[in-house]
Amino acid sequence: MSYIGSSSTTTALFDRHVTRIAKYIKSKRPNLKLFIWHDMISQLLNSGLTNITELIELVIPMVWTYVDDVKPWFDDSVWMRFAMFPEVWVASSFKGSSGETATMNYIGHHQRNQQTWLETMYIAAQRYKVNFTGIAITGWSRYDHMLPLCEFLPSAIPSLVYTLQTVVHGHITQQLNESISQTVLGCTQMPLWERSSFPTFVSCSFPGHEMYEMMYKYDTVMRDYDETMSFVRLYVTDIHLRQNYIHYKRAEECLERLMPLEASMIHFLDAFQNACSLFFTADIGPEWLQTYFMRPFKEVQQRLNFVERSLKSQSWWSQRPLSKNISRITVKKRNMTMSSILRNVQR
């Protein structure tokens, strides 16, 4: 404790720790640029510490946000503090910032993020002389090691191209949009900037187009799934499955919808894995399918198997009350608290 002395605050300890690490790295690689996310040092900058000059000379803040409109995200006081650093970088995104389980990549969100970053940088540089020297265009594939895959890199190539062109030109005009779509990406029509209200398919020829087109097929299949199951769930509920009980006419109507849906889902399942084999290791396709596809697919098969079996075997209908549905439902209460569970885990 005597080492820490009177400056035993979290911020002072953090400042000393990061400074020592940065100095050591610089002693080995003096020309190496050391970046640090801005939110890791925001508390330090807000603490009022006056002895952080050494750290300011060692690290480059990477100021990040992936929202649609960056301008209102940072107030003037933020840029006044970061103006102390010799260099400042910013981080935008071209994929992966739409949510932990986002599957489709839409250009609009990422292009707006990049364009408003450029506008924000211009204002901060003019008003507070912030020395912006670089932009990191990030692409996230997992939010952490334990979480599932989100947007695929090959299917996000159009977003990356539009983001880069925004950096070059400042904004995207209609003429530039057409040039990117047709000449750079080789698409038969404009890539989607936002999710459309109806199924859409865009064919392109850029490297990675197979995965890009596959995600459009996924979107179409899942729209069909949502529409079909919104009808089927009305007439094939868990009670029907438990009681083996369904209206014959409704069963026929469900069968007419479920059979083509199952066929299209099986086709997607095979085509998706073929596309994955072009770009990824063998584990990626199964992991993605188990995360985003197999649960709805199994629900379709379960309902379809039940309907098919019922139409073949059901010859009479029980009177109500249904015999298997008269027992009181009871559940066992959990006798552990969250704190007790966490204590057991930590042992």
pLDDT band at residue 347 under the 50/70/90 scheme: low
Q: What pLDDT does residue 346 have?
A: 65
Residue 1 has pLDDT above 60, yes or no: no
Q: What pLDDT does residue 7 have?
A: 45
Q: What pLDDT does residue 243 have?
A: 83
Q: What pLDDT does residue 199 have?
A: 87
pLDDT band at residue 48 under the 50/70/90 scheme: low
CB atoms within 10 A of CB 149: 17
**Helix 10-28 vs helix 38-46: crossing angle, to nearest 10:** 130
Please tell me the distance from the alpha carbon of residue 91 to that of residue 113, in angstroms, as a whole number.
Answer: 10
Give the tokens for residue 347.
């042992």
Residue 30 is given by DSSP the state T
Q: What pLDDT does residue 150 have?
A: 93
Does 41 or 7 have the greater pLDDT score? 41
Beta bridge partners of residue 32, listed in sequence order:
none
Q: What count of residues does the chain have?
A: 347
The string of pLDDT tens digits covering residues 151-177 is: 999 999 999 999 999 999 999 999 999
- pTM of the predicted model, to two decimals? 0.88
Q: What pLDDT does residue 22 have?
A: 96
| Average pLDDT of span 65-72 | 96
Task: For the chain, give percent helix, strand, coil, nearest 5.
Answer: 55, 5, 35
Q: What pLDDT does residue 49 have?
A: 62
The string of pLDDT tens digits covering residues 220-277 is: 999 999 999 999 999 999 888 888 888 889 999 999 999 999 999 999 999 999 999 9
Share of the chain above pLDDT 70, in %: 96
| Average pLDDT of span 15-23 | 94
| Average pLDDT of span 89-110 | 95
Q: What pLDDT does residue 5 have?
A: 44
Average pLDDT, the chain: 91
Render 200-239 in DSSP notation, one character per residue: ------STTHHHHHHHHHHHHHHHHHHHHHHHHHHHS-HH
pLDDT band at residue 6 under the 50/70/90 scheme: very low
Give the tokens for residue 96.
């992966």
Q: What pLDDT does residue 50 have?
A: 63
**R_g (Cα) of the chain, nearest Å:** 28
Q: What pLDDT does residue 285 have?
A: 97
**In the chain, where are the structural domains located?**
59-198, 212-316
Residue 183 has pLDDT above 80, yes or no: yes
Residue 104 has pLDDT above 60, yes or no: yes
